[in-house]
């Protein structure tokens, strides 16, 4: 049986909650504790993943574009609209990412054969090699971030977060 994580050490959020309690705030602060921990975890995650991508001369957004094209399957090609909708970006943010990736030779933009008004963004051979070499390091960084969490707890956490995200997505 997997060892359960015991709450024996105080973290920075415990100290924050204690400070509120010392100021006689009696409200239910559990949401503050949960969201505060998620925010702090997000910063650790962002920093580690950013470092991983920088080692491969990529920004986070550039990695996201390459990964989205790669997981779309052969011919690793999408329209800019398909890209920014799947990544929840504005078209302006997508354009600047595509400009940088095209300058690096990792993607190419071409007019669609079916509709000359439409543009296709496609991974170049170099772009595919780049994402294929970065992806294992990206996945390894994610594993390292979860080192202190048992496999059983990871599965429980994944289900809890999925349920929460599904609920939020259904109302937005």
Kindly report the CATH number assigned to the domain that includes residue 76.
1.10.10.10
118 domain residue, yes or no: yes
93 domain residue, yes or no: yes
53 domain residue, yes or no: no
145 domain residue, yes or no: yes
* Number of Cβ atoms within 10 Å of the Cβ of 69: 24
> Count of domains in the chain?
1
21 domain residue, yes or no: no
CB 68 within 8 Å of CB 87: yes
**Domain containing 124: what range?**
58-171
pLDDT in single tens digits along all 172 residues of the chain: 444 555 568 999 999 999 999 999 989 999 999 999 999 999 999 999 999 999 999 999 999 999 999 999 999 999 988 888 888 677 778 888 999 999 999 999 998 777 777 899 999 999 999 999 999 999 999 999 999 999 999 999 999 999 999 999 899 7
In DSSP terms, 78 is beta-bridged to: 121
Residue 123 belongs to what H/E stretch? strand 119-123
Can you give the pLDDT at residue 32? 96
């Amino acid at each position: 049986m997997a060892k359960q994580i015991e709450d024996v050490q105080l973290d920075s959020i415990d100290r924050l909650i204690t400070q509120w309690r010392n100021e006689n705030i009696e409200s239910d602060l559990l949401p503050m504790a949960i969201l505060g921990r998620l925010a702090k975890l997000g910063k650790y995650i962002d920093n580690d993943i950013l470092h991983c991508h920088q080692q491969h001369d990529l920004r986070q957004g550039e990695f996201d574009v390459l990964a989205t094209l790669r997981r779309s399957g052969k011919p690793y090609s999408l329209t800019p609209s398909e890209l920014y909708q799947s990544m929840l970006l504005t078209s302006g943010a997508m354009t600047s990412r595509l400009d940088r990736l095209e300058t690096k030779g990792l993607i190419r933009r071409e007019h669609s054969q079916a509709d000359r008004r439409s543009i296709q963004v496609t991974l170049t051979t170099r772009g595919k090699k780049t994402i294929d070499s970065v992806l294992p390091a990206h996945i390894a960084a994610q594993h390292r971030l979860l080192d202190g969490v048992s496999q059983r707890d990871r599965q429980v956490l994944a289900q809890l977060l999925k349920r929460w995200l599904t609920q939020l997505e259904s109302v937005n």
